[in-house]
Amino acid sequence: MTFTIATLAPSLLNTNGDAQNANVLAQRLRWAAHDARVVAVEDVADLPDRVDAVVIGSGNDSTLDAARAKLLTLHDLLRRWGTEGVPILAVGTGWELLSWGVERADGSVVEGLGVLPGRAVARSSRVIGDLVVRSPRFGHLVGFENHARDYVQAEASPLGRTLAGDGNGRESGQEGVVMGWVLGTHLHGPVLAKNPGFADAIIAEMAARAGVDYTPGEQAGVVDGYAASAREAQLRGAGVTLDR
């Protein structure tokens, strides 16, 4: 079989290279001797027959309404995928658009798609910097955050606790939101390249749903060494020492 990873509205939602998380999943599958492809979905007409995982990247406020319009054409499918357990990784603005709503700095509000609980609210200043998260589900995750909104009223479980950075803000000590396999995060990057264990957890779920086995390939081990070095450098820069 061929695994298909759909990246949604990448023409608008790829500001920090977040849409490339789809390519990380596909390449790791290929290294494990599985066929995989990435399909860019700008509207419902672009949808492939089968979707094994979904990636939604981040954007900026100038294209917020246009990005919402694109995702709105996929609203029912996003809800169905979430219910069925198709992994959905949404970063930054892409995540915010899956919430109840997005508040701009001028006080105007963009209605979200309501796939994830919570809402994005404007903060007094933009937060930019290293973000380190301890996730009970995916281990320690590193990346960087760059956002001008906090995330509040999330009734689902957070992705994890912040060890460095603001995450969801409001001194919550939390980062991201998780509902089943719908995963929202401020971790930019693409986050899956720097956190291969996170990528493999998503792939393992994709494989399990397809009824096939997944074991990371030999080349993945080589690349993961580079990722480990990058993670160590970022942890040192953030002043975080992990428990061994």
pLDDT digits (tens, 9 = 90+) for 83-135: 999 999 999 999 999 999 999 988 899 999 999 999 999 998 999 999 999 99
Q: What tokens were used for 2?
A: 């061929």
Q: 106: exposed, middle or buried (C-beta count within 10 Å: 0-12, 13-18, 19+)?
A: exposed
**Taking 60 as the threshold, does the pLDDT of residue 15 lie above it?**
yes
Block residue for tokens 């599958």: 29
Give pLDDT, residue 124: 87
**Taking 90 as the threshold, does the pLDDT of residue 206 lie above it?**
yes
**Domain 2-238 class?**
alpha beta
Mean pLDDT confidence for 162-176: 93
Q: What are the residues facing 90 on neighbouring strands?
A: 56, 184
CA-based R_g, the chain, Å: 17
Mean pLDDT confidence for 72-87: 96
The angle at the Cα of 110, spanning 202 to 152, to the nearest 5 degrees, equals 60
Sequence-ordered list of residues with C-beta below 8 angstroms from that of 69, at least 6 positions apart, any chain: none
Residue spans of the domains in the chain: they are 2-238
pLDDT per residue over 16-33, tens digit each? Answer: 899 999 999 999 999 999
Predicted TM-score (pTM) of this structure: 0.96
Give the pLDDT band of residue 244 (cuts 50, 70, 90).
low
Mean pLDDT confidence for 64-71: 96
- The residue among 112, 82, 115, 91 whose CA lies nearest residue 100 is 112
Give pLDDT, residue 16: 87
Strands (E), 46-175: 53-56, 88-91, 101-103, 109-111, 119-135, 139-152, 160-164, 174-175
**Taking 80 as the threshold, does the pLDDT of residue 151 lie above it?**
yes
Average pLDDT taken over every residue of the chain: 94
Q: Which has more confidence, 79 or 242?
A: 79
CB 77 within 8 A of CB 169: no
Q: What tokens were used for 44?
A: 């419902």
Mean pLDDT confidence for 54-61: 95
pLDDT per residue over 221-232, tens digit each? Answer: 999 999 999 999
Give pLDDT, residue 242: 84
Give pLDDT, residue 204: 98
